[in-house]
Each structure stands twice: as structure tokens, then as C-alpha cells.
Amino acid sequence: MFQNDYIMRMLEQVSRVIAYLIGLRKVGQYEKAGEEIELAYMQYVGMSGRLFDLMPTENIIELLNLSQPDWIRVAITANLMLEEARSFAEQGDIQKEQIKGRKACQLMFEAKRNLDSDNFDPEFLDLKKFVDYFPDIKV
């Protein structure tokens, strides 16, 4: 029970960070949003998001589950990547948007497949926001 409370509080914090990132994007502060995303990666995932730019999705999943299965970290990473993709889209960088978006969608698909979604915020694990944003991805 304690672990579940901890996870729920962490997901609430990540959701607040994502709301903050959306606010930064709305006012065109993309550089600040990028800095905040990187801080969120370090705080909630435990490693730099830049590392994920260099890795295929399968390797990201392996890395995040290295010591023990941690599909929550995979879901957090997916949500942060989705925000990066949206930021790139708003800046007109479609190539980076698509790369980040595809990885985000694949990560969330695997996280949702491996998590008991009844115990978590359905919005946080909502695969639809990934698929709707990248409709050409088949999941």
C-alpha cells in the first residue's frame, strides 16, 4: 500500500510537470520547456533524456527495466517524450517530432501492456493520446 501511495504521488507530480511544460509551450518558451523536460527525466526517470535520443526503443525498455521491472518509469519516459514531440511539432521540426513521437508511443504501448492499469490514473496511461497524435502508428 505504501509503495502504491508513493507511485500515485509521483505520477501526480509528473502530471503537474507536464501541465507546466504545456504552459511553457503555449507562451513559446521552448528552450525553457526543454530544460524542464531534462530536469524531469533526471528526477523521475533517473537519467538524461538525451541518452534516449541515441537508443532504439527496445534498448530504452531494457535500460529502464535493468535491475527490476519498472514499467512506471517506462510510462513516465513515454509521457515526457510525448511532450518533447509536441514541442518539436510546434517549432516546426517534424523529423524530431516523429522520432520522439514514435518512441513515446512504443514505450507507452509496452508500459500499458505490462502494468495493471486499474491501479493507476487512466489519463496518465492513456494510449489514445499517443495514437491520436501519431495516427500512422499501428498499435
Contacting residues for 139 by C-beta, under 8 A, at least 6 apart: 105, 109, 127, 130, 131
139 belongs to a structural domain: no
pLDDT of residue 50: 92
72 belongs to a structural domain: yes
Predicted TM-score (pTM) above 0.75:
yes
What range does the domain containing 118 cover? 2-133
88 belongs to a structural domain: yes
138 belongs to a structural domain: no
Closest CA to 57 of 83, 77, 84, 80: 77
List, for residues 11-57, the tens digit of each pLDDT value: 889 989 999 999 999 999 999 999 999 999 999 999 999 999 999 99
77 belongs to a structural domain: yes
More confident residue, 120 or 84: 84
Domain count for the chain: 1
| Cα-to-chain-centroid distance, residue 2 | 24
pLDDT of residue 2: 52
